[in-house]
Amino acid sequence: MVVPRSPRGVIVNISWNKRQEQLRQQYHDIAADLVASGSDARDRAGSFDRKVWDELAATDFWRLQVPVGIGGLGQESWDWLAAMEGLSLGARDLGFLMSVASQSGLIRLLLTSGTAEQQRHWLPRLTSGAIAATASTEKSGGSDIRGISTRAVRQAGGGFVINGDKAHITNAPVADVVMLAARTDTDPGAFELSLFVTATDAAGIERGAGEDLLGLRSSPTGPIAFHNVRVDDEAVIGGVGNGLNCLYHTLAYDRVLFGVIVASSLEAQLPQLMRRLAQREAFGSPLAEHQYMQEKVVSMATAIEGSRALAYRSFGLLDARDRGYSLSASVTKLFASTGLVGSGLDLVQAFGHSGYESGSAAERNLRDSVAFKIAAGTDEMQKKNIFNHVRRAVR
Ligand SMILES: Cc1cc2nc3c(=O)[nH]c(=O)nc-3n(C[C@H](O)[C@H](O)[C@H](O)COP(=O)(O)OP(=O)(O)OC[C@H]3O[C@@H](n4cnc5c(N)ncnc54)[C@H](O)[C@@H]3O)c2cc1C
């Protein structure tokens, strides 16, 4: 297969090689067996199953893209993406996938911006079952990062003392490791952000109870508080004052993963929609013969193809550290979340009243979908980013 190049010369993978196909199938099967089986029960109970998480870690899923010298298998980042796509296809649990995306964000950050010591210390833990949270949002607001009040104050003898409260953080109620964004500025009126990583059993860290949410109920989301938490200089990821850069890169990575998750989970739902349209009859013919209903299939297929193609392109740009990644990741996330929620509504509509009943697959799917318009930057923030890129580029 011809591998196209983007205008900037970045290779964009559009087809998996044999090894990647195998990984994709392997993780599809693992997810179908491990994750999908208890998914509805976890949604009903609003619970996270640590055993499922541990069993996934035991398959070496997290180690795939980590270099051999630090406990990984040293495969390409695209290999891991193939595994992630397979996992997303088989899981039937957007909540679990949200937790996975969050974990991936910290692993990626450590791989791209961590020191050798940070990688040696954290990666073996995170790849063998330790759960990570990445915390920037606070109750006062998530879109405007400059509004955060968590502060890390440098100490005369070295290290920092951190105080602040984070809220709505994926994995926080069960996290073993947390990456947090804190202000490190000292001048009034200045804004300097730095990222820190620490174990959640450090003195002064309090993980709150899970929040009761509309959807993604199998993903534990909650507050995490920092009261005079002492960390050493080695806890800073990417350098003091470089937090915004690192955070934007991690958020872009999450947005790209959302594209993969959305394409794969819609692909898993498409047969359900097709079956419904073939089996249900109205006005003497199957729903599949009615054009307004056919349109729902077209929209879902477009969301699948578009989200996947955009995600691959963005992943290629991120991997190459091409500066086009930011625009591309925002377009990916906006397209994917719009397609996911649109298809979620279409699926409910295709099932009529039975799709609107609590406990139906369509109902759960719609509840879960909405979070993708909010987490990792809202749709409005993607639009703002896209507009700003265009304004800079086109005069
Ligand atoms: C399931 C889930 C998981 C999450 N996990 C994490 C996590 O792991 N880590 C983390 O740090 N956060 C997490 N969040 C929080 C998420 O990042 C924030 O909810 C999000 O950034 C929006 O912040 P907010 O809720 O405070 O809304 P606000 O920032 O108060 O915004 C409210 C509304 O106003 C809009 N708005 C704000 N500013 C503008 C503007 N300039 N122009 C136009 N519209 C604007 C927003 O788009 C939004 O619609 C999670 C959220 C969800 C739903």
pLDDT range class, residue 71, cuts 50, 70, 90:
confident
CA nearest ligand 1 atom 48, residue: 378
Helix (H) or strand (E) holding 56: helix 50-58
What is the pLDDT averaged over residues 273-289? Answer: 98
pLDDT at 188: 85
What is the pLDDT averaged over residues 334-356? Answer: 98
What is the percentage of the chain residues whose pLDDT exceeds 90? 94
What is the pLDDT averaged over residues 199-204? Answer: 98
Q: Is 388 a pocket residue for ligand 1 (Cβ < 6 Å)?
A: no
pLDDT at 12 over 90: no
CA nearest ligand 1 atom 23, residue: 142
Best residue for ligand 1 mutational test, from 193, 374, 385 (most atoms within 8 Å of Cβ): 374
CB atoms within 10 A of CB 62: 24
Minimum-distance ligand 1 atom for the alpha carbon of 144: 29
pLDDT range class, residue 11, cuts 50, 70, 90:
low
Q: What is the pTM of this model?
A: 0.96
Q: Is 121 a pocket residue for ligand 1 (Cβ < 6 Å)?
A: no
Q: Is 141 a pocket residue for ligand 1 (Cβ < 6 Å)?
A: yes
More confident residue, 1 or 54: 54
Residues 211-261: tens digit of each pLDDT: 999 999 999 999 999 999 999 999 999 999 999 999 999 999 999 999 999
| Domains within the chain, CATH numbers bracketed | 18-132 (1.10.540.10), 134-237 (2.40.110.10), 243-390 (1.20.140.10)
pLDDT at 4: 45
Minimum-distance ligand 1 atom for the alpha carbon of 141: 26
Q: Is 337 a pocket residue for ligand 1 (Cβ < 6 Å)?
A: no
Q: Is 102 a pocket residue for ligand 1 (Cβ < 6 Å)?
A: yes
pLDDT at 157 over 90: yes
pLDDT at 2: 37
What is the pLDDT averaged over residues 99-124? Answer: 97
Contact by Cβ (8 Å): 102, 109: no
pLDDT at 6: 53
Helix (H) or strand (E) holding 52: helix 50-58
Kindly list the distances between the CA atom of residue 197 and the CA atoms of 114, 160, 165, in Å, as whole numbers in the listed order: 10, 12, 15
Minimum-distance ligand 1 atom for the alpha carbon of 133: 8
| Among 179, 262, 170, 267, residue whose Cα is nearest residue 217 | 170
pLDDT at 13: 57
Contact by Cβ (8 Å): 171, 131: yes
Q: Is 370 a pocket residue for ligand 1 (Cβ < 6 Å)?
A: no
CA 287 remoteness from chain centre: 35
Helices (H), 240-394: 243-279, 291-319, 325-351, 353-356, 361-370, 379-393
pLDDT at 283: 98
Residues 6+ apart with CB under 8 A from 211: 168, 221, 222, 223
What is the pLDDT averaged over residues 358-372? Answer: 97
- What distance in angstroms lies between residue 148's CA and the mean position of ligand 1's atoms? 13
Minimum-distance ligand 1 atom for the alpha carbon of 171: 8
Exposure string for 334-352, b = 16+ CB within 10 A, e = fewer: bbbbbbbbbbbbbbbebbe
pLDDT range class, residue 141, cuts 50, 70, 90:
confident
